[in-house]
């Protein structure tokens, strides 16, 4: 039975573009997999604990030597890795905050970098590859080639590197200029935002369309 892991991270609630995109993608996946099941995790509303001094060393200490705090931190990492392993497809909403990924997404990634369960420490090979990983990214401004802030988006370039040890390979679909509808100073950019959003939605709608559908 196919299984989807659906993760949101936006803190903007019903105003979030990334949440709207992941919801659209989840609906498309369900339509293509009517017998499928879904696990939903909301990092924006229920963030994971950061790796602190008490628990973070659990990844560097043999399990049999774990303190109670390390044991709890490691158990959470095991649970999060298991969520990924059970999924055939993963959806992640990735808004851009202060030119980087939300700290909640960084924490999720940190928990996944777990030796022995997410990657093989003997040879560095990832153990979580082989599944579809779709990232629905949103950014309030424009950061493409030739724009004044080209290269200021540090979320999209970072994510593949941050997860590289696990074997997960994200496919990123982006809607940009998402602040144009609400920021009067960006009013002239509204048509470009609408084009970007429409293109992202079209790509989402085509993700799980059977090849025979176009025949």
Local mean pLDDT, 10-residue blocks, the chain (215 residues):
98 96 98 97 98 92 94 97 98 98 98 97 96 98 93 97 98 97 95 97 94 50
Q: Which domain holds residue 195?
A: 3-214
CA distance readout (Å), 213 to 32, 34, 70, 89, 181: 12, 16, 51, 21, 35
pTM of the predicted structure, to 2 decimals: 0.95
Q: What is the pLDDT of residue 211?
A: 53
Domain count, the chain: 1
Q: Which residues pair with 91 in a beta bridge?
A: 6, 134
Contacting residues for 50 by C-beta, under 8 A, at least 6 apart: 103, 107, 110
Residues paired with 134 in a beta bridge: 91, 171
CB 131 within 8 A of CB 163: no
Q: Could you give the CA distance from residue 103 to residue 125 in angstroms, rounded to a whole number?
A: 26
Q: Is residue 129 within 8 Å of residue 166, measured between CB atoms? A: yes
CA angle 77, 112, 165 (to 5 degrees): 145
Q: Rounded CA gap, 156 and 55, in Å?
A: 28
Given this model, what pLDDT does residue 207 score?
97
**pLDDT (0 to 100) of residue 215:** 47
CA 123 to chain centre: 26
CB 136 within 8 A of CB 200: yes
pLDDT value at position 190? Answer: 96
What is the domain-level CATH number for residue 88? Answer: 3.40.50.360
Name the token pair of 27.
């609906």
Q: If we measure between CA atoms, which residue out of 98, 91, 196 comes closest to residue 154?
A: 98
Q: Provide CB contacts within 8 A for 86, sequence distance 6+.
A: 3, 5, 39
């Amino acid at each position: 039975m196919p299984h989807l892991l659906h993760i949101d991270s936006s803190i903007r609630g019903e105003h979030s573009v990334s949440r709207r995109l992941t919801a659209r993608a989840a609906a498309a996946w369900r339509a293509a997999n009517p017998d499928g099941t879904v696990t939903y995790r909301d990092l924006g509303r229920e963030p994971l604990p950061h790796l602190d001094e008490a628990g973070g060393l659990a990844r560097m200490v043999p399990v049999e030597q774990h303190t109670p705090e390390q044991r709890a931190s490691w158990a959470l990492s095991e649970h999060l890795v298991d969520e990924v392993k059970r999924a055939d497809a993963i959806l992640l909403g990735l808004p851009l905050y202060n030119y980087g990924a939300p700290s909640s997404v960084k924490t999720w990634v940190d928990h996944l970098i777990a030796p022995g369960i997410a990657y093989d420490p003997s040879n560095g090979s990832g153990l979580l590859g082989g599944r579809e990983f779709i990232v629905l990214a949103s950014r309030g401004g424009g950061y493409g080639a030739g724009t004044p802030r080209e290269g200021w988006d540090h979320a999209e370039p970072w994510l593949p590197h941050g997860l590289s040890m696990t074997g997960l390979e994200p496919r990123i679909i982006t809607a940009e200029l998402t602040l144009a509808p609400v920021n009067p100073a960006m009013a002239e950019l509204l048509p470009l935002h609408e084009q970007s959003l429409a293109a992202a939605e079209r790509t989402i709608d085509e993700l799980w369309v059977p090849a025979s559908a176009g025949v």
